[in-house]
């Protein structure tokens, strides 16, 4: 299985901060990398597919980059509704695997 | 707007079979551009992919669960189903169904629509 490692596992940030979450794959997945946002009690929500393709309706303050084994999710200016847990997921092969999650909390 | 809805028992006894169904509305289930996936999340933990099925019946399962998992699809009812045998307390989780959407070249699938999730507790 391809292992996905996210860091940090949690972070505290203030409204307006720039936040970067990293995701590393245990082997190359080219750009088969997706990012999801999950709020408590809710299903995950797809933010970015194919490493950098912003989904329709997702605010432009979210961006993704990377290829191979190293990827980042950046939130340019953190808003109150962005406090949530973020997961990366590889879709290069089965089994699909997720990172352990990054919880973004209010400082 | 596509919607997915999980249904099934919320309580299953140890050693028995967990059975869930996902009903799709607002769109077609019969396209090779989509897989129909199951994902679970134990309370307070991360996401685990269980497997997926295409409308043709082709499946892929997580090897960690493969010996206990069965999936099926009923295109006439726009439903797909999950069965997990011989459950234990470790199978207690919120179970989600989701659509895996492939890009125009048939690659880079992403889970773009999710059901709300259903909590299944394994307990006697």
- Give B14-44 pLDDT, tens digit per residue: 999 999 999 999 999 999 899 999 999 999 9
For residue B105, pLDDT beyond 90: no
Looking at beta carbons, which residues of chain A come within 8 Å of B47?
44, 87, 89, 98, 101
State the smallest CA–CA distance between residue A92 and chain B in angstroms. 7
Cα–Cα distance for residue pair B71/B37, rounded to 1 Å: 10
Contact B111 A50 (CB under 8 A): no
- Model confidence at B8, pLDDT cuts 50, 70, 90, reads very high
The answer for A 23-82 residues in CB contact with B (under 8 A) is 31-32, 34, 36, 42-46, 49-50, 55
Instruction: Note down pLDDT in tens along chain A; length 107 residues.
Output: 999 999 999 999 999 999 999 999 999 999 999 999 999 999 999 999 999 999 999 999 999 999 999 999 999 999 999 999 999 999 999 999 999 999 999 88
Reduced 3-state DSSP string for chain B:
CCEEEEECCCEECCCCCEEEEEEEECCCCCCCCEEEEEEEECCCCCCEEEEEECCCCCEEECCCCHHHEEEEEECCCCEEEEEECCCCHHHCEEEEEEEEECCCCCCCCEEEEECCCEEEEECC
Q: Is A82 helix (H, G, I), strand (E, B) or coil?
A: helix
Report how many Cβ contacts below 8 Å link chain A to chain B: 63
Mean pLDDT of B34-59: 97
CB contact under 8 A, B49 and A50: no
């Amino acid at each position: 299985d391809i292992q996905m490692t996210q860091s940090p596992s949690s972070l505290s940030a203030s409204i307006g901060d720039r936040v970067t979450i990293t995701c590393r794959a245990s082997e190359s997945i080219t750009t088969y990398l997706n990012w999801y946002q999950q709020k408590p009690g809710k299903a995950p929500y797809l933010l970015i597919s194919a490493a950098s393709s912003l989904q329709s309706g997702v605010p432009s303050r979210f961006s993704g980059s990377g290829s191979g084994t190293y990827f980042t999710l950046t939130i340019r200016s953190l808003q109150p509704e962005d406090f949530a847990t973020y997961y990366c997921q590889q879709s290069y092969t089965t089994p699909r695997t997720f990172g352990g999650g990054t919880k973004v909390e209010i400082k | 707007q596509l919607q997915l809805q999980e249904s099934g028992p919320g309580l299953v006894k140890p050693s028995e079979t967990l059975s869930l169904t996902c009903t799709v509305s607002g769109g077609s289930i019969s396209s090779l551009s989509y897989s129909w996936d199951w994902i679970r999340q134990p309370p307070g933990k991360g996401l685990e992919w269980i497997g997926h099925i295409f409308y043709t019946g082709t499946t892929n399962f997580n090897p960690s669960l493969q010996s206990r998992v069965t999936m099926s699809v009923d295109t006439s009812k726009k439903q797909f189903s999950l069965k997990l045998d011989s459950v234990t307390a470790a199978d207690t989780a919120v179970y989600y169904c989701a659509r895996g959407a492939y890009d125009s070249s048939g690659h880079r699938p992403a889970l773009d629509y999710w059901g709300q999730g259903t909590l299944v507790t394994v307990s006697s």
